[in-house]
Amino acid sequence: MSVVTRFPPSPTGLMHVGNARTALFNWLYARHHKGKFVVRIEDTDRKRHSEEAVQVIMDALEWLGLDYDGEVTSQFSRLDRHTEVAKEMVAKGQAYYCYCSPEDLKEMREKARADGCKTFYDRRWRNADSSKAPKDINPVIRIKAPMEGATTINDKVQGEVTVANDQLDDFIILRSDGTPTYMLSVVVDDHDMGVTHIIRGDDHLNNTFRQKIIFDAMGWDVPTFAHLPLLHGSDGAKFSKRHGAQSISEFKEMGYLPEALSNYLLRLGWSHGDEEVIPRDKAVEWFDLDPVGKAPAKFDFKKLENLNAHYINEADTEYLLKQAAPFFVKRLGLKPSGIGLERLIAGIDELKSRAKTLIQFVDDGAFYVKEIPFSYDEKAQKNIDEAKDVLSTLLECFESHKGAFDAEFVQSTCKEIADDMRDGKLGKVAMPLRAALTGTTVSPSIFHASEILGKEECCERLRAVL
């Protein structure tokens, strides 16, 4: 049997990182088993529906590199099919019309509450003669749930989970307005789409028992279930806004690479020995559900940052510059080009080895791309103001220098000036130089950076502050 997994998000307007992890696990399971990964948009809530919200999901999947098989299915477009199945179940004697009025139901609810029952519907129409049905009531369709025994799920993550059938009532599958319930739509779609494995958050575990009843009633194969523990924050509470970024677009805007986030999400609840860095091809090779634990996975931003630093450092130049381009536009208002781009590329190894995010990469490398006149941050300005004498000496040494203008020359010049003018303290020369050349007080090695900028540009930048 060939594996088919699915990702069925409701288009809420954002792709939560927990949902992205679910998508990733389904994708990996399918790819590992050379099966299919299908996407279904659960868009039956028409009041809140918007195409932009669907696009947010598609963009997130694309950014994470999770490609899918076939066309995206719209659940809404399949409502007729869901209705047809509900009626088929009635015809097969597996479901029935229920004509209870709102008053009847209210009475039953009150009685159940007084008796301390978990279910309330007394199944009065289960075997009733429908010729006695009231004419003024639009009936619902209820499933004939088993009344004795128990329903058991052999969950790949949660193990064997059993619920006594008297805890599950004859739930509604088609509402009185003729629309199918979520419980029915999901099962019909999963069946028709040939889904063999349902991997999702454990907040859906309770639905599973009811869904299994529908599969059984239709005589359909029940897929294998795997309910993943939900994400928690570092304090053990359910992962939420107060812990930090939640949606994929937020992570993207914070300058995380998709490889890093996806590697991090994979490690949330899944492991392969002690491996931390697991590139996509290895993930496909190694992924299976057995190592997924039952304990909630704690989201740790520090670990994500470490992975991000790793992937930035490993990235090839062309790819990294493409990923960083939107950040240059956002933070500097320009895309690196011409001489600025050349300098950036010359200094890229050092930038890569320092950056934890694309934002840091761009901020650290901005000075290669910026043109004078540019602004100086407060600390840089202070350094410049306090060392005008040093800076003009540096300018004289640079201007009169005839040999190679390399890191070694700049460093030894700074050292000589420090010995002469600043009690041998190299930082007292290097820092003002950094401030003048970069506009900030943090940058890669200023000696190497000077070499990349070149003699002319360094002199220009020194003149600009003097």
Can you give the binding site for ligand GLU, defined by CB under 6 A?
Answer: 8-10, 42, 186, 200, 204
Polymer length in residues for the chain: 466
Strand positions, DSSP E, 351-429: none
Shortest distance, CB of residue 19 to ligand GLU, whole angstroms?
Answer: 7
* CB 203, min distance to ligand GLU, A: 7
Alpha carbon distance 224, 196 (integer Å): 6
Chain centroid to CA 291: 21
Residue-by-residue DSSP string for 241-303:
GGGS--BHHHHHHTT--HHHHHHHHHHSS--STT-----HHHHHHH--STT--SSPEEP-HHH
Please provide the DSSP assignment of 41-101 as one string: E----TTS--HHHHHHHHHHHHHTT---SSPPEESGGGHHHHHHHHHHHHHTTSEEEE---
Smallest distance from the beta carbon of 9 to ligand GLU, in angstroms?
5
Q: Reply yes or no on whether 241 is catalytic.
A: yes
Q: Minimum distance between the CB of residue 132 and ligand GLU, rounded to whole angstroms?
A: 37
Supply the minimum distance, in Å, between the C-beta of residue 268 and ligand GLU.
17
Instruction: Please choose, from the candidates 372, 370, 373, the residue with its C-alpha nearest in 3D space to the C-alpha of residue 339.
Output: 370
Report d(CA 154, CA 222) in Å as an integer: 11
Cα 318 to Cα 345: distance, rounded to the nearest angstrom: 9
CB nearer ligand GLU, residue 204 or residue 280 = 204
Antiparallel, parallel or unpaired: β 150-155 and 159-164: antiparallel
Q: Among 15, 19, 8, which Cα is nearest to 43's?
A: 8
Task: Identify the helix (H) or strand (E) that includes residue 433.
Answer: helix 427-438
Let me know if 256 is exposed, middle or buried by CB neighbors in 10 A (0-12, 13-18, 19+).
buried
The CB-of-200 to ligand GLU minimum distance in angstroms stands at: 4
> Whose Cβ is closer to ligand GLU: residue 186's or residue 417's?
186
- Token pair recorded at residue 224: 């294998």
Cα 150–chain centre separation: 37
CB-wise, 81 or 109, nearer to ligand GLU?
81
Give the angle 303-304-309 at the CA atoms, nearest 5°: 95
Report which of 315, 318, 334 is spatially closest to residue 326, judged by C-alpha positions. 334
- Smallest gap, in angstroms, from Cβ of residue 8 to ligand GLU? 5
Nearer to ligand GLU, 195 or 344 (CB): 195
Catalytic residue among 241, 379, 388, 425: 241
Catalytic (active-site) positions: 241
